[in-house]
């Protein structure tokens, strides 16, 4: 692992700040000052910042049922609450993708950058499942267009799995991660989303997790997420 990333995972600072700390000559590896942030280090190396030892942070993955009004960021400079504040952990956690501030439901937080990338990169096509309440009952032609894919300002969407689950409610499964995609797709077919909840991310489902609550995933759940992201290795 590169030294800057190692420091970030160890909770010293963000990767960019870690690079600055390294450039200032404040980091030693095996007693020698290192100023190259790309220097490879491992768990067995004696890495220190200002003489204090640094250990790689244990990997954690959390599921959160995000309430409306909470933002999907690690830090929020404004008055709104950041989703990381809902998790009782000392690890440097970051959201895996995003949910709009006015959307609710399942959001993953982790300090495992490799896993986060695999779960969000378009090439791995990890499914995300949503429940959307619409302004009016969707016509059959609207559902058909959503299933086929619709044209948006940033290009056509991939086909989606869509099924009605109520008079004005649909369940939609996407394998893309564009900004406000569900809302924009529904608007493109002539309807409007009035409430949106994510209920599934890959093999993981929201289940009985209450709004505003978080739980740490088990090793088995994390391995299933890794498999969904194209990596069966731990």
Does 70 share its domain with 32?
no
How is residue 172 written in tokens?
Answer: 């939609």
CA 164 to chain centre: 27
pLDDT at 76: 60
Spatial strand order in the sheet of 27-29: 32-33, 27-29, 47-49, 52-54
- Count the domains in the chain: 3
Is the domain of 14 the same as that of 107? Answer: no
- Positions marked active-site: 100
Residue 14 pLDDT: 74
Q: CB–CB of 4/19 below 8 Å?
A: yes
d(CA 89, CA 60): 9
Distance CA 190, CA 202 (A): 29
Q: What is the structure's pLDDT at 220? A: 95
Same-domain check for residues 213 and 104: yes
- Give backbone dihedrals phi and psi of 77, rounded to 5 degrees, phi first: -70, -15
Q: Please tell me whether residues 116 and 146 are part of one structural domain.
A: no
Low-confidence ranges of the chain (pLDDT < 50): 232-234
For position 195, what pLDDT does the model report? 98
- Kindly tell me the sign of the dihedral angle through the C-alpha atoms of 7, 64, 80, 182: positive
C-alpha pair distances (Å), 35 with each of 2, 27, 43, 67: 12, 7, 19, 43
Answer whether residue 138 is part of any domain.
Answer: yes
pLDDT, position 233: 42
pLDDT at position 218 is 95
């Amino acid at each position: 692992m590169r030294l800057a990333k190692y420091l970030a995972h160890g909770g010293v600072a963000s990767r960019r700040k870690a690079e600055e700390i390294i450039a200032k000559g404040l980091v030693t590896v095996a007693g020698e000052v290192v100023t190259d942030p790309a220097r490879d280090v491992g768990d067995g190396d004696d890495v220190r910042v200002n003489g204090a030892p640094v250990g790689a942070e244990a990997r954690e993955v959390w599921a959160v049922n995000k309430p409306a009004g909470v933002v999907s960021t690690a830090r929020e400079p404004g008055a709104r609450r950041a989703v990381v504040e809902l998790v009782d952990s000392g690890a440097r956690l970051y959201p895996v993708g995003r949910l709009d501030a006015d959307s609710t439901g399942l959001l993953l937080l982790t300090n495992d950058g490799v896993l986060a990338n695999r779960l969000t990169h378009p090439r791995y096509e990890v499914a995300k499942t949503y429940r959307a309440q619409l302004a009016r009952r969707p016509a059959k032609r609207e559902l058909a267009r959503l299933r086929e894919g619709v044209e948006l300002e940033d290009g056509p969407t991939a086909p989606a799995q869509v099924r009605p689950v109520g008079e004005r409610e649909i369940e939609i499964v996407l394998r893309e991660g564009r900004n406000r995609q569900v809302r924009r797709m529904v608007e493109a077919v002539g309807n409007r989303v009035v409430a949106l909840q994510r209920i599934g991310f890959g093999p993981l489902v929201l289940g009985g997790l209450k709004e505003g609550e978080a739980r740490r995933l088990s090793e088995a759940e994390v391995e299933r997420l890794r498999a969904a992201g194209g990596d069966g290795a731990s």
